[in-house]
Structure 1
């Protein structure tokens, strides 16, 4: 049972990895009043995850660049422990270049992929630093933008809640609540999660009129064998068209000191 709940936790913590996992520390926006929409929602429910992700990518492509920040936290009440994983992603959809910075208690991992697919990864654990050629495993700016949204949308059975005003623009709000709002058959849970394990589940999705998913977050509490874990994750897209995506300072050192794996 302990292995099973640990597997569920790991799957949830890696949802916002873009292509490979990992997630950057952010704090959800202050609660705002959701107003029932007078007109039609931007998407009918049930949401088509592919359609939402495609529209998100196309809107980002119009902006050119983006910053994606996300964080995931796993809390175990019985052990009074908290594990945090965070990631910052900067993407340029015109060139495909992408930079990622991920932090966890194991260390820091940074990666940079050029538009031609050449990629390098820097691992820092304590005072040890290692460089690797990352190749296609790093993905590109488009893949990060698409997979982060598509994976999230598949996890829940969203309903339309209305609109909010955020940062000077209107966002459409989709919500999921309770066990019935959780899609336990989603691939990310890999068949390891069922309704009997879920004590609480809540999720929110914010979508601008142009299709950009500005914020996505969830809170999930699961219990197995008397052990309870709470999993939270938040993802935000910011600095659209204002993000600079350039090789990090360590890129020359990585070129000179890489292994094939």
Structure 2
């Protein structure tokens, strides 16, 4: 073994020997402006970018009031029935006391933001960097654009108390089934998931009921994880009533815990 092979170099938590020994120090590489810029595309640098996105998102949204995320197609035409439905739902969510969060883009996202904004509510958009141009809509009080889908999804789940899902494409399906999976597996506290559009979603719901359930791929109670409707008032009512029921149960649990603590104190 040569002296070079036996030499050990500590680089943060890593130990390097032999062919892995660096020819320069970390400080030297940081301060040296010469050479290629490939390092900005390396995985360790990506980790810092990911961390920065989480920090920025958490910091910006930390004081957000209770909110509902509305999902749907970016391709929905303004003036269409689905667009008007999105506007109505955005307005009614504000009237029920919720901020509205969308993906920040056009179509259904714009409609929900617009309805909320014009009704005087807090309108939020969480955009995503895409290879094709998709600018943030103009009806946002808070807009934040992400590089990474999984960071953006975390923000939707963390800062939403419910999901409303209007007709959409693969991205909408992705958000829908991720939310259902998180609730089903109890990775997150259960919250309402409302599908709006029986004609659009009916075939999918029938397939879930008539194929997945009989095949043993889901449990009967999993069908209660979402609610299907055409009525925007019903969509909002489902959310409000679910939250009222959750608050009632929490109050009962807290009262029971306090009573048990008092009894334990009296018994001692």
Please give the range of the TM-score, normalised by the shorter of the 2 chains: under 0.3
Larger strand proportion, structure 1 or 2?
1
TM-score normalised according to structure 2 size? 0.23
Larger helix proportion, structure 1 or 2?
2
Bigger relative contact order (CA 8 A; separation at least 6)? 1
Larger Rg: 2
